[in-house]
Structure 1
Amino acid sequence: MNKILQTVTSEVSRVFLTPQPHCLAGSVRYKSIRDEHRSGLPKTGDPLMDGTVGTESYAAVNVKGYERRLPTSETLKQKFFGVPFTELPMVYIKSTRNNTLIQVTDHKYNVITYTSCRLEGFKNARKKTTIAGQTTGVAAGQRLLRRGINAVRVLVKGIGPGRMSSVKGIASTGVNVVSITDRTLLPEIGPRPKKIRRV
């Protein structure tokens, strides 16, 4: 019994009486507040809009009958809602990082109407939101309906946040979108890109 008591007291004295370092190192069991702040907002399961679908996850694409959906030379001769395809009004959507501009022309490139996020009442940083793009699309669609235009071709340029929401805004007003064309420029060599921003 004495031997057991001696070993216990020696162990206790070794642990409590020897000098310990002031800084203890170990692995943190839980995330700190800074780690949570760095990670940003939690990702939701909802798909992202605005032309960014597929950046966070893979999207299943059905490729059956893909050739049937592509336009052919006969498509240019067809009539959509009583108007030949080549004579449909064209909606040009320019979606930049900070704004969404929508211009509608007829088949002879005469401007019918024009609108932007700023003209719809969005100022400063609110112009770059998806809601601003959708509101601009709704306003453009309502202007088209007032002029008696119910079928259009849409040409989208740029990769800003209001890119697809503006198309949805136009379609939600009752204007029939016959075709959507992406005319974003792809720089093959192009100018030197902007320097990376250091924060």
Structure 2
Amino acid sequence: MIGLTSRLSAVPKLLTSLTQSSCVAVRMKSVDHRAGVPKTDTQMDGTVGTESYIPVNVKGYERRLPTSETLRQKFFGVPFMELPMVFIKSTRNNTLISVFDHKLKSITYTSCRLEGFKNARKKTTIAGQTTGVAAGQRLLRRGINAVRVLVKGIGPGRMASVKGIASTGVNVVSITDRTLLPEVGPRPRKIRRI
């Protein structure tokens, strides 16, 4: 009982430390129809927690940014510029993983469909993580144990596939977001008036 009360008393301290060191971006579901996002009432397997909050840690980000020395630094005996690159393209319906060496020669490729997921199951986080695990195992079989990851797209398998690659024992040196953001984009739909 003593351990339980000490844990409960630590909860407010934990919550205050989290609120001071990070911020949360909330998705506005009331304006999703304007952006062309279809409304779905059913929850699919493997998509729990993918659409609620986006945690963003803003404390001490300067020391985590790469510098000019990072490009010359060696990671696990390989210079940063010669590390293999893992390109993850995460769309709404699929996750594609391509691996290239530093000269952009293809090493391996996999996707949710190649790992056995069909139709709507390709868009789940479980499918993205399984694809990441398969890509990581292929890298280990080829003797590659350190990579840099470049993520493109905002699908549900985005960070799940990075987690899958890291869980196989491949060292992820850096994660770069290459998602294209339109400066102006298409004209939005007019606001409905009643």
TM-score, L = length of structure 2: 0.70
Q: Specify the structure having the higher radius of gyration (Cα).
A: 1
Please report the RMSD computed on the Cα atoms of aligned residues, expressed in angstroms.
2.6
The percent identity for this pair of structures is 81
- The yes-or-no answer on 1:67 pairing with 2:66 is no
1:126 to 113, 117, 121: 121
Residue 172 of structure 1 is matched in structure 2 by: 167
Structure 2 unaligned blocks of 5 or more: 1-39
The yes-or-no answer on 1:144 pairing with 2:136 is: no
Q: 1:89 aligns with which of 84, 87, 91?
A: 84
CA deviation after TM superposition for structure 1 residue 69, in Å: 1.1
Kindly indicate whether residue 96 of structure 2 is the aligned counterpart of residue 101 of structure 1. yes
Question: For each residue in 1:100-138, what CA deviation from the matched residue of structure 2 results, as whole angstroms up to 9, or x when unmatched?
Answer: 000000000000000000000000010000000000000
Across the two proteins, how many residue pairs are aligned to each other?
148
Residue 190 of structure 1 aligns to a residue in which SS? coil
C-alpha change, 1:117 and 1:193, in structure 2 (3 Å) is farther
What SS does the aligned partner of 2:53 have?
coil
* Paired amino acid for 1:133: G
Amino acid at match of 1:182: D
Distance 1:169 1:68, change over 3 A: same
Q: Aligned partners of 1:183 and 1:150: how far apart in 2?
A: 23
Residues 88-111 of structure 1: CA deviation (Å, up to 9, x unaligned): 000000000000000000000000
Which of 156, 167, 181 is the equivalent residue of 1:161?
Answer: 156
Structure 2 CA distance for aligned equivalents of residues 98 and 168 of structure 1: 19
The residue that corresponds to 1:54 in the other structure is 53
Shift of 1:61: 3.1
Deviation at 1:54, TM superposition (A): 2.6
Listed as ranges, the gaps of 5+ residues in structure 1 are: 1-37, 42-46
Q: Secondary structure at the match of 2:89?
A: strand
Which whole-Å CA distance do the structure 2 matches of 1:74 and 1:113 have between them?
A: 29
* CA positional deviation for 1:193: 6.4
The letter for the 2-side match of 1:63 is K
From 175, 183, 193, give the equivalent of 1:188.
183
Query: In the TM superposition, what is the alpha-carbon distance from 1:60 to its structure 2 partner?
Result: 7.2
Instruction: Assess, with a 3 A threshold, how the Cα gap between structure 1 residues 158 and 39 changes in structure 2: closer, same or farther.
Output: closer
- What is the CA distance between 1:63 and its match in structure 2? 1.1
Tell me: CA distance 1:194–1:172, structure 2 relative to 1, closer, same or farther (3 Å).
farther
Distance 1:84 1:170, change over 3 A: same
Give the TM-score taking structure 1 as reference length: 0.68
